[in-house]
Structure formats: C-alpha cells, structure tokens
Structure 1
C-alpha cells in the first residue's frame, strides 16, 4: 500500500454522526475501496491500515506479534505488581508520598487510584483543570479522594491562556484538538512530581482497552515544538504560564537525569472495563460519563463530533477493537454499537453552544472553523527530526556497549 499524501490540504469530510456508516476519511485516497477488518472493526478510515490475505488488519497482527509478548501473564503480572509495590514503599520511606497519580476522573485513572489505595501506597493526586471539566467529573474526583483519603492538588490553568491555545489549535485545523489539554495535564503532573521529589508516576494506560490507536488519527500531544509553533502562528496573546514540557525535559531530564519512571499497573491485572465501572460505582459512588474521556466537555465534543465529522475518524472503532482483541466484546456487538449515533442531537447543540460561548465565538464562527480545510501536523514545526536523532544516538550507544561487553 502506498503512503497517504499529506502534502495538500483537503476539504473537511463532513461525515455523518447519526450512526450511519462512516466510510470516507481524511487523507484516504478517494478511489480506495472501503474495507473492514474481519477480526476487529477497524477499517479504511485509517489512512495507514492494510490487510492480509484473510482480511485481517495490521492492528490485529501487531497485537499478536508485539503486544502479546509485552503483556504479562496473570502469574507474571502478580510478581511484577508485588515487586512494584515493594519498590515504591521502600523508595517512599521517610517521604510524604511514594508515587504520584494524575486523576482525570475517567474510568482508567479512577480505577488506578482505587487499586493504589488497596495496595497501601501513598500517592500525591494531581488533577489539572483546563476549564473543560464536567460537573460530574468534579464530583467524581472529589468523591474518590475523600473516600480514599488521598491528598489532592488541583492545578487550574489560566483560562485566557487556555482559551487562546485552544483557538490556535482550532485555527490550525489539525486532527488532535485534545493536544493543548493533554499536554498541559502531563506537563503539570511532571512538574509537581519534580518539586515533590517523586520518582514514580502511576499511569492508567493499559493494553486491555487501548491496544489499538491508529497513528494517523492524531499526533503526539507532547510535542512542545508543535504546540509552540501553532500558538506562535495562530495565538493572539503571550503563552504566559501555560504548562509546557520541552524536548530535553521529556526525553533526557525526566527519564535519565531524574530517573523518573512511568508505571502502568493495570497491565499487571486482569483489567476489564465493565467490571472496573461497576466496582467504582459500588465502592466509591463514582458515576459513568457515557464514553471514553467524556469527563471533559471538550473531549466529548472533540471525540464524538469534531474528529469524526471533520476527519472521518471515529475513535469508537479503535476502542471497541481493543476490547474485541482482549475478549471483552464480541465483534457483532461492536458493529451494533457503531450503528448508534455518536451524539444525542440535543446534547450536541448544548455542547456546541456552550463551547462557542466559552471560546468567545458565535456558533456560526465556531462552525466555520470546524468546516475549514483539514491540515496535517507535518505542515507545522515539530520535533520529529530531533526525535529520530536522539533515537539513533541511543541505539548507537547501546550497540557500542554490547560490542565492548561482547554480547
């Protein structure tokens, strides 16, 4: 399969969001025949997808050949979990906290917080308020920390700075409109970890529900070069104190100089999403939002409308496919789920009106931005060249060391 052409802007796809099939997407050749994987529900709305002679997609093949080998068995996971808990408790001796956890109020981070409490760990809990929290998310976060007895730090981003960054990204017409919120979240989290001298970051990412996420449907939210470049081009005020992680801190300072580690303990457990939801509701009074990352009103709008409507990228396909590969869902049930509307029409109108007003736009101006031609991240400054260099240097050094040691 030839590589997608990202060189020229294209018109917004304007895909249906009422449950009708989305068969066309950005950067997919218009003459490419539509095809769905015979094992999961990923399809040719992923510009980089390919299929073998049995109609099985590259995401499924990657799951079999790579992810399965990295995913601990139940026995291995138990040993890894025990070692992790012992290490964190030992490293935290004499300190106020032995780890840090970012809490968005979503299923994964909330369940992670519950397990951390069960393991007897003492986390500093950080929540970043980027101005888009739903009232339910605020309630869930407060409920979790109160019931578990955790210290909570809420970092509130200056709204005018956040608004300007959000508008800059909208004007960039890129797919990943969650980047400003995601970047600020992790930048603030790492900043608090450094100030508190905390080495271990507990993360809710997991293979069970996130083994598939097409690279072409977004771009690295941690690319500070892209973030700054877009703001410089489209922003209208100084960036101010907006949290940013620069390239050196992300790839050198935090992992190698400060020896900070990101731990993903949900991979050590038999993690099932529906079971996690029921446990959170029963034990913590937590309430579900109706979709992955819907704890943020912006993320709900972005994932359920902006991304599928403008680009033809329906993230439900990736989320459901991950559950299929983990055996948590039948393919037929996933296909039925995709026939459901992405958004309730009344809620969509409410969210669109709310977001436009919060961004100080009319609804017509907001819709005009959404319907502008789409762009690709490679058209803007980014850190991909630097990343390739640092990876090359790292591989070269490892090879030299292996040669010297005779391995």
Structure 2
C-alpha cells in the first residue's frame, strides 16, 4: 500500500514528498501536500547548482581561491573530523583537489573506539596532520550533566559549538581562511529549529545554573567571538557537498575499501553521547526521533522510497549494549536520579537565555555574511528568523 499524505493509524499529516510530519517544528504544507522543508531544499539546490555542471564550476572556482589564499602557508584549509563518513571522505577529496588540509578534532572524551581508529587510519594514509582540542573529561561530564538536569533536548549542544570554535581557533593559528565542512543538505537535510538549538549563551546560562565546576578547558564561542571570527578574521565556511554530487553510500564503500575505515552502525553513532541522545534520550524524554532528517532526505532523492523511509522511522533506533549504564556511570547518576529527571516535564531552549533575539535583530548582517560564506547558510536559515514556540 502506498504511503498517503495522511497516516490513519498515527493520525498525523505527512509530507507527500518526504516523511516530515505535522509534529516537525514550523512545518507547513502547500496545496499538493509538499512541506516547506522540501521547498527549502529545492531552493538551495537551485542556488548552489548542487550536483550539476554549474555547481561543479562554482566549486572549482572556490578551490582555486583557496589555493591562492593559502599560497606559501603550511595549510590552506581546515576540515573538522569526527571519524564519520562525511568528514573522512571530505579529507580524501581535499587531497584529491590538490589542497593542503589540516584536520581538526574536538574530543569531548565520549568518542567510540571505532571513531578514533577511523581518524587515525584515514589521516595516516593521506598524510594529513591533526589538530585536537581535548576537554577535561570531568568538565565535559559536568556540562553534559547540567544539560540533563536542565531538562532540555540539546544535551549535545556543547559538542557542536565547541567543534566550530576549535576549527576557528586552528584556522586562525595557522593563518588559514577556509574551513571545509562535510555537510550535505541533499543527503541529510537541514534540521528544523525545534529541539536542536545551540549557541554560547545557551550553554553558559545552563551551565551556570546546573553545573558544579568552572569551564576552563571548554572552548566557548561567545556572540562577540562569533562576530570576530566572521567579520574581522573573515574565516569562510565552505560546504563542498552543497555544490557537488555526493553519495554517502559510495563514500562509505570507498573508505572501507581504501583505508580500512569501519562503519559505526548508524548516522551520528560514532560518538557515545551522540548515540545516547539519538537512541535513548530524545525518544525517551521528548518523543523525538531525529532519524527523520536523514530518512526524509533519502526519500527526496529516491535512494529509498517514502514507504521504506517511514517503515525505518517507525522501528526502534539502534542502541549499543550497556550504553545507558555507561551514561549513568559517567555522569554519576543513580538509577532513581536518572528516572526522576527523565520523568520531569521537558523544557526547551526558549526557557533559558540565548542569543536568538540578537541573531534575529541582525538578520540583514547575517544575510550578507551567509552569502559571502562567512557564516553557514544553514545558520542564517535556522537561527535568524523567529521560531515557533516549542513545548
């Protein structure tokens, strides 16, 4: 039976093109039942020429620009690496394009052994140097614990922001003006601002209220630092997969064949905190399953059918054995304390101080910066417009 735009059993309306449903933040549907996020993807593909000769030409010009800017320097670009598919393949492509990348890793001390091994294998084979910022493990756990006690979904927010700050710092240290990011809106989508917000004030405000130790080794990106990186240092964020044709499945097969790279079992599962968030925390406390981002993207491009995407979405997420026990042990939570917090009424980022209103007020500035690749276009689209109330 074909998947209709309404699922009778669930009683929710579903996009007629992907599997985003009416529970997704700020979603709307046109007269044909297509959601606004599918239209957003169409607009971006047209803007960037994704996977077309025009997109390839645009990106080829960027590569030449990177080479000119990096002439005479040890490195001409920075690439954040996690041990996952996209970032690992990005390093390979950078070398193929004749670039001299510096790989950058933020270690939140929750890496899986597979991720660490993947980073070592790929960088070793490609002769790429690694710059790593390692946070004190007790400090990392204190920040994670603070977000858990705050009752918000963004338990991993500190990792996302710290990686961005670490890449900026590494780029500035070596006089590099280009950061390459391995994100593809075609294969991953652009996650709606629902329960996935992060900025420096959000992290700082929650840690002040629920944390127990000072943040000394954590690389916090404040609003002022963000503007400085973008407007003064003028470090550009480039996402090659927004321009060129990219297949995650083909990239994974290539990495396995050429570098002994090992698949870690699912999207974002290379880090144990990320795996906890996707497999246990988000579904258990918020009834949220962020697999719909990737599954919707795959349905849009026809890699899988909408029926298959919806079927996968309605199966339990993969959870590593002993992952919950590991989480509770690392954060020093008793079984009772863990259950108490999980049963509490969920909070959202709108309940705590953030920079969101500043981003909205400066939307014209960030529009200019996004078009110049000085801030990610996804940041502008997600953070610089009013968001629906989340409860």
TM-score by length of 1: 0.84
Q: Match for residue 69 of structure 1?
A: 46
1:269 correspondence with 2:244: yes
CA contact (8 A) 1:46 1:217 kept: no
The Cα RMSD (Å) is: 2.1
How many angstroms apart in 2 are the aligned matches of 1:271 and 1:334? 20
Q: Match for residue 324 of structure 2?
A: 352
How many angstroms apart in 1 are the aligned matches of 2:261 and 2:150? 36
| Equivalences for residues 3-402 of structure 1 within 5 A | 33-64=11-42, 66-73=43-50, 74-219=52-197, 221=198, 223-250=199-226, 252-344=227-319, 347-348=320-321, 350-392=322-364
How many angstroms apart in 2 are the aligned matches of 1:315 and 1:369? 21
How many angstroms apart in 2 are the aligned matches of 1:394 and 1:264? 17
Q: Give the length in aligned residue pairs.
A: 361
The 3 A distance-change label for structure 1 pair 123 and 392 is closer
Q: Which runs of 5+ in 2 are unaligned?
A: 1-6, 369-391
Deviations 1:181-205 (A, max 9, x none): 1122211221111111111001111
Bigger radius of gyration among the two? 1
The 3 A distance-change label for structure 1 pair 395 and 113 is closer
Q: Match for residue 7 of structure 1?
A: none
TM-score by length of 2: 0.87
Deviation of residue 245 (structure 1)? 0.9
How many angstroms apart in 2 are the aligned matches of 1:266 and 1:52? 28
Deviations 1:92-128 (A, max 9, x none): 1111101111101111111111101111211111111
Q: Which runs of 5+ in 1 are unaligned?
A: 1-20, 25-32, 397-407
Q: Match for residue 6 of structure 1?
A: none
Q: Which gives a bigger RCO, structure 1 or 2 (Cα 8 Å, sep 6+)?
A: 1
How many angstroms apart in 2 are the aligned matches of 1:107 and 1:60? 24
Deviation of residue 393 (structure 1)? 6.1
The 3 A distance-change label for structure 1 pair 87 and 338 is same
CA contact (8 A) 1:41 1:334 kept: yes
Deviation of residue 339 (structure 1)? 3.5
